[in-house]
Amino acid sequence: MVRLVVLRAVPLPLLFLLLLLGGLSGCTPLPPKPEQQQATADDLPQWQDGMLASLSQGEHHPAVASLFAKAEQARQQQLWRKAMTYLDQARQIQPRNPAVFYRQAWVSLQMGDAVRAEQLLQRALVFAGGDMELTRRLRLLMAEALDAQGRGEEARRLRQQAAWDV
């Protein structure tokens, strides 16, 4: 049962303040939206001698982490289109997450589409912000994409630039 209390003796500004404080007392800050969560270099899979250790590494939004795990299973079976489908879904959830673009670029390289890999990595660099380690790792993968396109000199310069970022 709800009771209505009339506060006649309380001045209007004080009443307003009491209502405001009472209404805000249970408020907590909202968690960041999935598309606002910032990726770091730790969220990228480890790159070792032309191979990616796992597509499911890093700390991510639960839905994205699940899609990365599915993409990893597809990677292990070399089902590249299926892996890309899962990564496309992850990008719909977090369209500004450079870790998603990184994984898509790697899968694109496995599919023989180095041009698309380069484009995805360029987008990832836009969203990498000031994280130098993240930028360095993106550049190293981009050098692989450039090599696959026969652009060895550009790849060499990019690797050199990535070495300076350390």
Task: Say which CATH number the domain at 49 has.
Answer: 1.25.40.10
Beta bridge partners of 52: 47
The answer to which of 24-33, 47-56, 90-99 has the lowest mean pLDDT is: 24-33
Query: Is residue 27 pLDDT above 70, yes or no?
Result: no
- Residue at 14 is within a domain: no
Answer yes or no: is 150 within a domain: yes
In a domain, 62, yes or no: yes
Q: Which domain holds residue 114?
A: 36-164
- Structural domain contains residue 45: yes
CB-facing half-sphere around the CA of 53: CA atoms within 13 A? 8
76, pLDDT greater than 60: yes
Domain membership of residue 26 (yes or no) is no
Tokens coding 88 = 């496309």
Q: Is the pLDDT of residue 25 over 60?
A: no
Report if residue 155 sits inside a domain. Answer: yes
Query: pLDDT tens digit string along 84-97?
Result: 999 999 999 999 99
Q: How many domains does the chain have?
A: 1
Secondary structure letter of residue 48 according to DSSP = E
Computed over every residue of the chain, the mean pLDDT equals: 80
pLDDT band for position 3 (cuts 50, 70, 90): low
